[in-house]
Chain A
Amino acid sequence: MFPYEKYLRRNKFPHIWCTGCGCGIVLKALLRAIEKSKIAKDDIALVSGIGCSSRTPGYVDFNTLHTTHGRAIAFATGLKLAKKELNVIVVTGDGDATAIGGNHFIHAARRNLDMTVVIYNNYIYGMTGGQASPTTPAGKKGSTAPYGNIEPAFDVSALAIAAGASFVARSTCYHAVQLDKYIHKGLLKKGFSVIEAMTPCPTYYARPNRLGNVVDMMHWYKENSIPVEIARKVSEQEKKEKITIGILHDAERPEYCEEYQKLSARIMKTDNK
């Protein structure tokens, strides 16, 4: 049995999540990844915005920071730069990260600031009652898209790669084992890492879209995910409406904190001459 107890704030339970919500699966994957990384609890800052997914930090025994909607990465930027020894992890929703917080997301990726961002992508605004998000697939319903969404959706991982993240991976709550593997890799990676976790919201996404219960959603993830190695070989048509899972991007780029430290050392040296 994995020692989850070691990391949980037991007296904060029961949690606020609905039955069947995927948030708990991502939380457990995160804890397994942290355990494997051997990073001490004191050295982890877990930062979130606002949303169901962003309630994660309250339940775990780290330095936890629950911020404002969309701004988790910006708060985390200050934390990281002011205390570079901290391992900074951001947990955020698709709305938090790519709608209201989209600007911070792409700029932190561009800077390649050393942090790990876990995005719970449930295709919807859970906390506020099921409104459409930038990741709601076209045609699907939300409470603010009662006739079906006419907007195209963001591919969150592709956005992260384009913006400059050095490590990007995607998994689903069905593929929970891979999820903690990728989060672990993200934690070890020096640079901006993004793990997109496809997360079921049975209450506000499955129900209005008649996708059944959470078991049906898990089946759907299972049937509709294709590993990236295969996805690279098949035609666009074949992977349309499928979820590509796996390590999508892993590159070496100069990391912001290191660059800043180099600059600071150079300036201080010339000043002392």
Chain B
Amino acid sequence: MREDDARLMTGNEACAEAALVAGMRFFAGYPITPSSEIAECLARRLPQEGGTFIQMEDELASMAAIIGASLTGVKSMTATSGPGFSLMQENIGYASMAEVPCVIVNVQRGGPSTGLPTLPSQSDVMQARWGTHGDHPVIVVAPSTVRETYDWTIKAFNFAERFRVPVVVLLDEIVAHVNEKIIVPTRGEFEVIDRDRTTQDPKDYLPYALTDSDIPPFADFGSGYRYNVTGLSHDETGFPANDPKKVDLLHRRLNRKIERYRNEIVHYKTELLEDADIVVVAYGSTARSAYRAVRNARALGLKVGIFKMFVLWPFPYQELDKLARRVEKFIVPEMNLGQIAHEVTCAAKHEVAQVNRIDGGLITPDEILEAIKNVSV
């Protein structure tokens, strides 16, 4: 990292630039506040990089187009907000089912419906996990700062490529629009992963082969491997299959694929937990207020620590369960009515305190501090 690489950027800009650095060369999207700057930035940048930008007719088309592009081997992404994210759900399920790597950025707004277009929210945590029908694997990351947005956009592409899944980057209006100084990492400071490609003879290639890794090697469309891709339940050959054994095998593998590698994916940071009897579990821009609140509480002599999540799904159940044996009191601040708090309750196996806002206002350090004081008595 060099100081002279310091730049002032918004989260949306950082997301677009990082995607290019990760090798993304195809973007399809439909404008929607507060995500539009990502599309605008890429409309300017992608033709410079020899990539493709297209503004589609809607979000259903955007999601479809990035899957099509990714099938040719090109890293692809789209960006949207709540209403558009809802429209993408069917094809996100297709990407899960057909194991097509891609990245979906959702700059959350208050919902349901058109809701609060210009104000922050974290209300799509559950939609990101369960928005499409059926049991399906998905990875969701939620950065808190501009720099984290840069890093985690790159990691999102790496996860997508490594595990052949759609990966959701959940931003919120604050992270997306705040201007922060970031020192852009140099190429050697981060890893860029490309999907594992088959080296088999096309005659022997099975697009959904059962392998030791549970992740079948990929063949680019149009590279001499003529195979079939479908959203129907299929077998190793990629053709539709109804046989219960084959269907079971497929769906268990799809879900196992993420579960067995969860330790490579789950990511969080803890601070001041050694002597803590209260822990604040936070993510996204709310974590920024949580840090301040914890510091202020410490100054008052309260024993509080923080568990800040970078990855929301897969959820750190085991880690929080372990923590709950040591720390009794949990506080979860979030700009929704308790979507993550509910999961923390499941992990900790007891009720947790919540700080919630759904009025478009951000959660302040004082509001979290208040909650800390309340539970500490």
On whether the beta carbons of A66 and B228 are closer than 8 Å, the reply is yes
A81 touches B69 (CB 8 A): yes
Tell me the complex Cα distance, A62–B202, Å. 12
Given A45-B222, A82-B69: A77 touches B74 (CB 8 Å cut-off) = no
Q: What is the count of residue pairs linking A and B with beta-carbon distances less than 8 angstroms? A: 132
**Is there contact, CB below 8 Å, between A65 and B47?**
no
Q: In this complex, which of A12, A62, A104 has the most chain B Cβ atoms within 10 angstroms of its Cβ?
A: A104
Distance (whole angstroms) from the CB of B24 to the closest CB of chain A: 11
CB within 8 Å of A: which B201-239 residues: 220-232, 239
Which chain B residues in 65-121 approach chain A with CB under 8 Å? 65-74, 76, 90-91, 94
Q: Are B69 and A74 in contact (CB under 8 A)?
A: no
Q: How far is it, in angstroms, between the C-alpha of A104 and the C-alpha of B48 when the chains are bound?
A: 27
Decide yes or no: A66 and B54 within 8 Å by CB, A45-B222, A79-B71, A267-B47 being known contacts: no
Q: Is B185 an interface residue (CB 8 A)?
A: no
Is the CB of B58 closer than 8 A to any CB of chain A? yes
B91 & A78 in contact (Cβ 8 Å cutoff): no
**Residue in B58, B60, B227, B240 with the greatest tally of chain A CB atoms within 10 Å:** B60
Residue B5 at the chain A interface, CB threshold 8 Å? no
Per-residue interface assignment for chain B, residues 292 to 336, with 1 indicating a CB less than 8 Å from any chain A CB and 0 otherwise: 000000000000000000000000000000000000000000000
Give A61 to B61 CA distance when docked, in angstroms.
Answer: 26
Q: B50 near A78 (CB under 8 angstroms)?
A: no
Band of interface residues on A: 35 or more
Chain B residues with CB under 8 Å of A85's CB are: 222
Contact A75-B221, Cβ < 8 Å, known A64-B227, A260-B52: no
CB closest chain-A residue, reference B44: A267
Given A74-B60, A77-B65, A68-B48 contact (CB < 8 Å): no
Contact status B65-A75, CB under 8 Å: yes
Q: A268 — which chain B residues lie within 8 A by C-beta?
A: 47-48, 50
- In whole Å, how far is B112's beta carbon from the nearest beta carbon of chain A? 23
In the bound assembly, the distance between CA atoms of A63 and B48 in angstroms comes to: 30
Q: Within 8 Å CB of B26, what residues of A?
A: 78, 81-82
Decide yes or no whether A134 CB sits under 8 A from chain B. no
- Give the distance in Å from the alpha carbon of A259 to the alpha carbon of B343 in the complex: 50
Contact B54 A63, beta carbon cutoff 8 Å = no
Residues A79 and B226 in contact, CB atoms below 8 Å apart: no
Report Cα–Cα, A106/B54, bound state, in Å.
16
A41-66 with Cβ < 8 A to chain B: 41-43, 45, 47, 57-58, 61-66
Interface centre among B48, B228, B231 (most CB of A within 10 A): B228
Min CB gap B263→A, angstroms: 33
CB of A78 within 8 A of CB of B68, answer yes
A76 interface residue, CB < 8 Å from B?
Answer: yes
Interface membership of B57, Cβ < 8 A = yes
Q: A207 vs B63: C-alpha distance in the bound complex, in angstroms?
A: 38
Within 8 A of B (CB), among A233-273: 260, 263-264, 267-268, 271
Q: A31 to chain B: closest CB distance in Å?
A: 15
Given A79-B71, A81-B65, A81-B69, A45 and B221 contact (CB-CB distance below 8 Å)? yes
Given contacts A63-B221, A264-B47, A271-B48, contact A68 B64 (CB under 8 A): yes
- Contact of B50 with A107 in the complex, beta carbons under 8 Å: no
Whether B353 is near chain A, meaning CB under 8 Å from some CB there, is no
CB contact between B67 and one of A43, A78, A86 (< 8 Å): that residue: A78
Chain B residues positioned under 8 Å from A80 (CB to CB): 68
Report which of B48, B72, B227 forms a contact with A83, defined as CB distance below 8 A: B72
- Contact between A68 and B57 (Cβ–Cβ < 8 Å)? no
Q: Contact partner of B68 among A76, A103, A264, CB < 8 A?
A: A76
**Are A75 and B67 in contact, with the CB atoms below 8 A?**
yes
Is there an interface contact between B222 and A63, defined as CB atoms closer than 8 Å? yes
Determine the distance from Cα of A63 to Cα of B224 in the docked complex, in whole angstroms: 9
Given contacts A66-B228, A107-B57, 17 further A-B contacts (CB under 8 A): A42-B222, A58-B228, A64-B228, A66-B230, A66-B231, A71-B60, A71-B64, A77-B64, A77-B68, A78-B71, A81-B52, A82-B26, A82-B69, A82-B73, A104-B61, A107-B56, A264-B50
Q: List 11 A-B contacts (CB under 8 A).
A: A42-B223, A42-B226, A63-B222, A74-B56, A74-B68, A75-B64, A77-B28, A77-B65, A79-B71, A81-B52, A264-B47
Binding site for B on A (CB under 8 A): 12, 41-43, 45, 47, 57-58, 61-68, 70-71, 74-83, 85-86, 103-104, 107, 260, 263-264, 267-268, 271
